[in-house]
Each structure stands twice: as structure tokens, then as C-alpha cells.
Amino acid sequence: MAYLRTAIPSKSWGGVVYDSKGRYRLFVNGATRREVVDKELSYCQNNLEPKQCRLDLILQTTMAGNCAGISHADWNDEKGGHSSSSTARRPDIKTASDDAINVCAKVAPRDSCKLLAAVCTDGSSQTGALERKP
């Protein structure tokens, strides 16, 4: 019984919130979808400007795409300075990381796109920090 109380559920949920300035938070090991969404909404209200905060990906260990990557770009052109953040959900950490950069490169110059972090729903294969508040 003691083991069951501490065991991680076979299904875990995760998600991503971010804004255009490169601030983000990756959530992992949520017990329910509702728990993750509630945490995301709370994080947006308390840590990011709510109008700029975007709840993007919901992940579950039983989904084919249970890993997420988040990228960011800052660049200048003739219209001024720009910032953009992007996410990608894929079945493994490498593809999620690569695709986060590819999604970023659709709106920003590829050389300005940087991978901020990537993680799978269960917290495995983490690259970068789960949170960034520049």
C-alpha cells in the first residue's frame, strides 16, 4: 500500500505556457488534464502578462506526441525589433527539439531561433530548464 501511495500514475499529463518575450513554463507529471490546465492558468495570471500568455500544448504519456520543445527568437529588420516563441509536440525529445526550431524559423530568421527547453510528459529527457523568467 505504501508503494501505491508514492507510485507515479501510469498516465501523466503535461503542458506548456509561454509568451512572445521568451518567458515560459513547462509542466510535467500532472495527475489529470484539469490539474495541468489549472496550473497553467494560474501561472499565466501570476507570472506572465495574461494577455500575452499562451496555453499551447497539452501532453499525455499515452499520446503519440508526448514530448514538447519550446524555441524563441529575437531579431531586427527594417520594421524594427521582434520577438517570437514557438512550440512543437512530437513523440521523442530530439524531434520535438528540432521541430520547435523549424516552427520558429517559419516566422523568424532561422539563425535567430534558439531552443529554450524540451521535455517529455513524465519529466524524462529534459533539455534546458522547465521555467524561464527573463
The residue ranges of every structural domain in the chain are 10-132
Q: Are strands 67-77 and 113-120 parallel, antiparallel or unpaired?
A: antiparallel
Query: From the centroid of its chain, how far is CA 47?
Result: 15
Interatomic CA distance for residues 80 and 75, integer angstroms: 8
Q: pLDDT digit string (tens) for 58-106?
A: 767 666 678 999 999 999 999 999 999 999 999 999 999 999 999 999 9
Helix (H) or strand (E) holding 45, with range, is helix 33-47
Q: pLDDT digit string (tens) for 16-64?
A: 888 878 888 988 888 888 998 899 889 988 888 777 888 776 767 666 6
Burial 90-103 (b: 16+ CB within 10 A, else e): beebebbbbbbbbb
pTM of the model: 0.78
